[in-house]
Amino acid sequence: MGKSSVLRYLYGAYESESGVTAAFVTEPEISSPYAFVKSLCQVFNVTPRRSLLDQKNALKEFIFSEAAEGRNVVLLLDEAQGLNSTMLEIVRSFLNYETNNAKLLQIVMAGQLELRNRLKLKANKALKSRIIMYSLLDPLSLSETKAMLNHRCEMAEIEVPFSDSVIQLIYDAAGGVPRDILRFCDGAYALSQLTGEKSVSPETAQSVIDRESQIMADEAA
């Protein structure tokens, strides 16, 4: 199970609780601090404001109004590695919303390893000190990878188009990272459909691995 799947599971669990108002941001807007806060307000259906300060105050009012109704607010942030120090400081400021008895906002952030590196920066020391729990997901095993692909194919109502040897090839290239496994598999399956293959051949898988690996290297540069 990858980080996004963990967050989706948590979101489903929180949504079922009557005393919780939960929101799941799959990919926060990071073009500016204002856009970031606005994207958080949108998932809580808070009316947009014209300035960063007004937008932050609107979110604060929402959180306190939920508390007045007996509900705790939970914000799940995926892909948080893209947040810069200014945005992370905004996240920290939200954690100050509290009463004498309780914290009014709980935040769960998930991201790639770059998030951990960002939190180690001196500029983000204050936020790091407020974090209660860290968790680092281990890469999937080969058997877990097969189970993940079987489940996804079952949900899509298709037969698994990957042989054990192709899964091994993709698994080795991805290093057990769910995001990369799915990226390679999606690309290989799409290409196999275009070329008329009944199942993904090792050659097709390798060509996609080579292409996507180069793209990922360029993105990281």
Per residue in 96-130, pLDDT (tens digit) is 999 888 899 999 999 988 899 999 999 999 999 99
Would you state the pLDDT for residue 176?
93
CB 108 within 8 A of CB 130: no
Do 116 and 190 have their domain in common? Answer: no
What is the DSSP pairing of strand 72-77 with strand 105-109? parallel
Residues 6+ apart with CB under 8 A from 214: none
User: Within a 10 A sphere around the Cβ of 5, how many other Cβ atoms?
Assistant: 12
76 C-beta neighbours (distance < 10 Å), count: 23
pLDDT band, residue 5 (cuts 50/70/90):
confident
CA 89/CA 36 separation, integer angstroms: 12
Number of domains the chain contains: 2
Q: Last residue of some domain: 102, 130, 158?
A: 130
Q: Reading across the β-sheet that carries 20-25, which strands appear in turn?
A: 20-25, 72-77, 105-109
Mean pLDDT calculated for residue range 58-75? 95
Q: Give the model's confidence band at 221: pLDDT under 50 very low, under 70 low, under 90 confident, else very high.
A: low
- The percent of residues above 70 in pLDDT, for the chain, comes to 99
Structural domain boundaries, residue 190: 142-220
Indicate if the pLDDT at residue 136 is higher than 90: no
Same domain, 146 and 104: no
For the entire predicted model, the pTM comes to: 0.77
H or E element in which residue 77 lies: strand 72-77
Averaged pLDDT, 13-22:
92
Q: What is the mean pLDDT of the chain?
A: 93
Q: What is the mean pLDDT of residues 173-196?
A: 95
Question: Residue 7 pLDDT more than 80?
Answer: yes
Please give the pLDDT value at position 1.
66
Is 98 in the same domain as 159? Answer: no
Question: Are 151 and 78 in the same domain?
Answer: no
Do the Cβ atoms of 22 and 76 come closer than 8 Å? yes
Note whether 142 and 162 are within 8 A (CB): no
Task: Determine what percent of the chain is predicted with pLDDT higher than 90.
Answer: 85
* pLDDT at residue 3 in the model: 87
110/198 same-domain check: no
